[in-house]
Amino acid sequence: MSTRRALDAIDRKLLCELQRDASLSHAELAERVGASTASCWRRIRALEADGVLGSHVRLVDAGLVGRGVHVLCHIRMKSHAAEAVEAFEAFVASRDEIVECYSMSGDWDYLLLVLVADVEDYNHFLMRTVLRHPSVSTGSSHFALARVKYTTAVPI
């Protein structure tokens, strides 16, 4: 059972604005959400303390920094023993190419989002790194042709 306080309309507006532009000053946020600057500051601190708001980041265009190929890679494990799962998840955490990883239900155990420079780069990563991991049985790769929608904003 969660002990977090319920979000009111101003909290929700703050979250929407901060997801659009985290660089806004408290004064700008206050004006946009219809609250005082001090109230915005207190609310933001409370949302951070509750874990609703995380770290401040800037989004990078992957293509402009040489990581324009996005690959969705399904992984099937050899074993679901705790040691194998822990080893694989530690491996995932250590690899910068893997920007997202989901433990899945269904036929595949994991879904990875991998950002690489080109197909050759991915082939090298898959064949010499991922598939050689002792916990991995097999993988299936799907190359994104175009990004139709991309957002980091959570619906509020």
Contact 54, 22 (CB under 8 A): no
Q: What is the pTM of this model?
A: 0.87
Instruction: Give the containing element (helix H, strand E) for 103.
Output: strand 98-103
Question: What tokens does 110 get?
Answer: 């994991």
pLDDT digits (tens, 9 = 90+) for 81-97: 999 999 999 999 999 99
3-state SS of the chain: helix, strand, coil percent to 5? 40, 20, 40
**CATH, domain range 9-49:** 1.10.10.10
- Determine phi and psi for 62, rounding to 5 degrees: -60, -40
Alpha-carbon distances of 78 from 36, 88, 95, 132, 142, rounded to whole Å? 56, 11, 20, 12, 21
CATH of 62-143, one of 3.30.470.10, 3.90.170.10, 3.40.1050.10, 3.30.70.920: 3.30.70.920
**For the segment 103-145, what is each residue's pLDDT rounded down to a tens digit?**
999 999 999 999 999 999 999 999 999 999 999 999 999 999 9
